[in-house]
Amino acid sequence: MSSQPLSSLRDREILLGVTGGIAAYKAADLCSKCAQAGARVTVVMSAAAEQFVTATTFAALSGRPVVTDLFAEKAYPRGAHIELAERADVFVVAPATARFLAQAALGLADDLLATLTLCHTGPFLVAPAMNTDMWEKPAVQRNLAQLQSDGATIINPGSGWLSCGRIGVGRMAEPAEILGHLEQACAGLAGRTR
């Protein structure tokens, strides 16, 4: 039997937000890695994310229902945005599209994921993914700077082949790298329980 140290993710509540980009397929791997490390994962998907990966995939990997509706009253009588935010130790959005970055930076609460950014008080991690031209736009960089100023941890995208057929910056960080950031965030919560 191996004597590997326990992951700082064990028994932690991870809220994984998935937005609509081709990198959503990597979020499935991230979800699986978190579950394998002993975390309890709840996935919240934007409507656009459901165009790339099904909720069924994330439900199977997390062992929990996927939440997509701000008004899921039956499952969350006080509101999904309140109950999920209170339950989560760490909130990570991967991939985070340019649209989501703008919503979060401006505090627009027009869907469940954006509303969760206003309700969650613990560590907030963002792993952007988009086309290079979008990534380099001043508006996107301003939104990233605002989120970082507000306390978010930005997990910068890498450079490489993009789905648009170009090579450049915009590839979402690999799930193993994001997992490392999650472990670091959870280690910072040592002794804190919800």
Active site residues: 164
Q: Which of 80, 96, 98 is nearest to 88 (CA)?
A: 80
Residue 188 CA from chain centroid, whole number: 18
Separation between Cα atoms, residue 150 and residue 133, nearest integer Å:
25
Q: Which amino acid is at 42?
A: T
In terms of DSSP H, where are the helices of the chain? 24-36, 55-62, 80-87, 98-106, 112-119, 132-136, 138-149, 175-187
